[in-house]
Amino acid sequence: MKRFLAVLFAAVVLAGCGGGGDPVSKTCSMDGPGGHVSIVFDAEGDTVKKATMNVSMGYEAMGITKDDVDKLSEEEKQKNIDSLTEAMNLDEIEGADVKSSFDDEGLKIEVVLEVSTVEQMFNKSSLEEVVKSAEGMGYTCK
């Protein structure tokens, strides 16, 4: 009995030290009219811990030029960014940290998603299942 308890205790301790597996990242991307979306899923083993979505939209796709944006005040730029993120429903995602800015090519948006948000969006927390789901939506994953 003591031997059994010792083996059981050792198994529990070793399982607890495992940390859920090695860090793994998968990137899923998709090109659309005037833009590009990529999502990096960070996981430990097969469990997604965080996802970062990056959206790039060219000025032409937005119907404006870089010169148009350069003429705007910082407040006007932010209003335009807020309008675009609202139109994309990014402001409605709970558990998301959204950062946006204009650069030489157009609008760049970064959305960091908490684990619970990834689970809600994909109805899964397994990296393998999330990647399959993203591929089913038209993303190419590597």
How far, in Å, CA of 115 to CA of 119, rounded?
6
Q: Domain 20-133 belongs to what topology?
A: YehR-like fold (3.30.1830)
Indicate the pTM of the whole model: 0.76
Six-digit token pair at 94? 């709970």
Which amino acid is located at 137 in the chain?
M
Six-digit token pair at 56? 């790039």
**Between 33 and 56, where is the model more confident?**
56
How far, in Å, CA of 126 to CA of 135, rounded?
14
Average pLDDT of the residues in 121-128: 83
Q: 80: pLDDT confidence band, cut at 50, 70 and 90?
A: confident
Per-residue model confidence as pLDDT tens digits over 36-67: 999 999 999 999 999 999 999 999 988 889 99
113 and 125 Cβ atoms separated by less than 8 Å: no
32 and 138 Cβ atoms separated by less than 8 Å: no
The helix/strand/coil state of 59 is helix
